[in-house]
Amino acid sequence: MSTVSREEHPETPPYALTVASTDSGGGAGITADVKTMNRLGVYAGCAVVSVTAQHTRGVERTHVLPAEEVAAQVDAVREDFDIGAVKTGMLATEAGIDATVSGLSEYDGPVVVDPVMVSTAGDVLLEPTAIDAYDRLFELATLLTPNADEAAELTGVHPDSPEATVEAATALIDRGADAVLLKGGHVDTGEEVRDTLVTGDDSYTYVTDRVETDRTHGSGCTLSSAIAARLAHGDALETAVERGINFTQAALTRPADVGRGPGSVNHLVETEFEFDTVERSTIGD
């Protein structure tokens, strides 16, 4: 028999919380978030907002939990853990958004908000009438991570040029977010993908090679979770974003050939893979 005490074996990994929804198939949602955070050395907790019956081909059913259950999960985690970062994902309804906002009202660490609306397969992940409620969550966001479609829906500006991208991101900062990472994966920029980070002070472009694959299921969840994980490690925002993009690029480059659909990104991409493919530059330099 061996006795293990906290005093003799102190190991305090960074802790991050995902407030989102499950994907029974394991490619997206909380299932992707926890794997990504664990893979990046972070102890992950979760507050489940809704449960989806889902696989790599789409969402079959969604069951939304009562708002008080969401708030209770966030409260339970807040009472017991030193949370280094929070990520929010699919919140499903206005009540889901408001439960998240009230659960996080006493928390003042970094919050990465992925303003999820519709899946790649076309499934509605947020009831359309709830979109305006996102503004209440944006107030808490250290970083907002919309794709081009989400940014256009939220602002009316289509980020199809560098100028329009900064304009859309700035409009979202005006609505309460501290910073915006506008993802360029859905924008036609040829063989490269340009993700743009706009903070109150600076703007950066991150350029990666476009990966020709339909195994993108879970990529948005993976990116926002990877950034949250790196923020929980204490990275500065622009570094956390760079490492998050590198990790997601690796997960896209070595996808998981699972399911009968297109497969998904590989959140468990091997450690030997060098996460260093992105080029960062400051806009205006």
Binding site for ligand PLP (CB under 6 A): 20-21, 23, 28-29, 52, 54, 89-90, 116, 119-121, 125, 217-221
Q: Could you tell me the smallest distance in angstroms from the CB atom of residue 117 to ligand PLP?
A: 9
Q: Could you tell me the smallest distance in angstroms from the CB atom of residue 29 to ligand PLP?
A: 3
Q: Toward ligand PLP, which CB reaches closer, 62 or 155?
A: 62
At 14, the amino acid letter reads P
Q: Toward ligand PLP, which CB reaches closer, 221 or 231?
A: 221
Instruction: Please list the residues that pair with 53 across neighbouring strands.
Output: 61
**HSE, side-chain direction, 13 A CA sphere, residue 25:** 24
Q: Could you tell me the smallest distance in angstroms from the CB atom of residue 203 to ligand PLP?
A: 25
Q: Could you tell me the smallest distance in angstroms from the CB atom of residue 95 to ligand PLP?
A: 17
Task: Return the residue nearest ligand PLP (CB atom).
Answer: 29
Q: Toward ligand PLP, which CB reaches closer, 166 or 193?
A: 193
The DSSP symbol for 88 reads: E
Q: Toward ligand PLP, which CB reaches closer, 23 or 203?
A: 23
> Residues of 255-270 as b/e, b for ≥16 C-beta within 10 angstroms?
bbebbebbbbbbbebe
Q: Toward ligand PLP, which CB reaches closer, 53 or 236?
A: 53
**Nearest residue to 206 via CA among 169, 167, 164, 242:** 242
**Residue where the block lists tokens 């991570």:** 145
Q: Could you tell me the smallest distance in angstroms from the CB atom of residue 61 to ligand PLP?
A: 12
Task: Measure CA 153 to chain center.
Answer: 18
